[in-house]
Structure 1
Amino acid sequence: MTPTDTVLGLWRALSDRDWDAVVPFLADDCIYLDVPFGPTMAARGPADIVARLKVGLEPLSACHNHDGLIVADGDDVTYEHSETWTWPTGEVADLPFVTMHRVRNGQITLWKDYWDSATLLNSAPPTWMDDLMTADTSWVYDATGQV
């Protein structure tokens, strides 16, 4: 698989919220950084990255990824895309993303999501932020200086 194939495979699995299918795309030392939250709230390794992703995505009634521009430069892949998040209470958020991935030997070793948190917060149900604040954070990894 090319680095582009790896990234697109990850996003297909993620859009389906097929957590078992996400894991093989992630290297054991992969770092995931949700840029708006900063490097002190990163996750490292497949199990912790999946746990981190579940915090935001598992409560949704639907999550769909919409392909956009993808550009590869060797092992580095930039993916411009969007996601539509739908909550069981009916709120919908359309979130534009630019995501950076570094791929080595068919697995992602670095994943950084760039997006506007205000877009999400303005669309989410009123209780969503409270739910995030009480979520399990055992996955937290401080990636300061590594990303």
Structure 2
Amino acid sequence: MSAEHIVEGMWAALSVRDWEQLKTYLSWDCIYLDMPVGPAAAARGPDDIVKRLKIGLEPLSSYQNFPGLMVSNGSDVMYEHHEEWHWATGESAVLQFVTVHRVIDGEITLWKDYWDMGALVNHAPPTWLEDFAKADMTSVFDATGLV
């Protein structure tokens, strides 16, 4: 299976928030990080990555990923796409992403999201940052020096 196909499958699982299916695309030591936050607040491994993703995505009333340009050199995949986030309180945000994945032996080993944190903060409910600050951060892994 090509790296592009693996990345497409992972994003399809994430778009419907199928957490168990999403895990099947990630290596046991995959590193995930939001680049606006940096490598000191990464997550490592399928379980912790899903735990981290759920902090932002699980409270949403709807979430969808919209595919865009995908470019690959065989193992490294760059994916330009956007996500729509909707909260039950009526707020919504359209977030533009460029995501970099590394795929080795049929599994994603690195996942880096580049996006504008301000676009989220400006459109999220007023309690979003406070809720995020109270979230369970036991999945946080310091990937400084590894990415």
Query: TM-score with structure 1 length normalisation?
Result: 0.99
Aligned to 1:127: 127
Question: Residue 102 of structure 2: SS of its match in structure 1?
Answer: strand
- Tell me how far 1:56 sits from its aligned partner: 0.3
- Tell me how far 1:106 sits from its aligned partner: 1.1
Gaps of 5+ in 2: none
Residue correspondence of structure 1 range 41-52 to structure 2 within 5 A:
41-52=41-52
Aligned to 2:26: 26
Question: Residue 135 of structure 2: SS of its match in structure 1?
Answer: coil
Measure the CA separation in 2 of the matches of 1:3 and 1:60.
29
Runs of 4+ with deviation above 4 angstroms: none
Aligned to 1:65: 65
**Counterpart AA for 2:36:** P
Measure the CA separation in 1 of the matches of 2:57 and 2:41.
16
Percent of paired sites with the same residue: 59
Measure the CA separation in 2 of the matches of 1:90 and 1:50.
25
**Counterpart AA for 1:112:** K
Measure the CA separation in 1 of the matches of 2:109 and 2:6.
11
**Counterpart AA for 2:50:** V
Find out whether 1:3 has 2:22 as its counterpart.
no
Measure the CA separation in 2 of the matches of 1:18 and 1:130.
26
Residue correspondence of structure 1 range 73-112 to structure 2 within 5 A:
73-112=73-112
Aligned to 1:54: 54
- Tell me how far 1:105 sits from its aligned partner: 1.2
**Counterpart AA for 1:70:** M
For these two proteins, the number of residue pairs brought into alignment is 147
- Tell me how far 1:74 sits from its aligned partner: 1.4
Question: Residue 22 of structure 1: SS of its match in structure 2?
Answer: helix
Measure the CA separation in 1 of the matches of 2:62 and 2:8.
19
Measure the CA separation in 2 of the matches of 1:144 and 1:131.
26
Aligned to 1:12: 12
Question: Residue 84 of structure 1: SS of its match in structure 2?
Answer: strand
Find out whether 1:142 has 2:142 as its counterpart.
yes
Measure the CA separation in 1 of the matches of 2:10 and 2:62.
17
Gaps of 5+ in 1: none
**Counterpart AA for 1:66:** F
C-alpha root-mean-square deviation of aligned residues, in Å?
0.4
1:20-75 CA-to-partner distances (Å, cap 9, x unmatched) read 11000000000001100111100000000000000000000000000000001110
Measure the CA separation in 2 of the matches of 1:73 and 1:146.
21
Judging by fraction of residues, say which structure has more helix: 1
**Counterpart AA for 1:68:** G
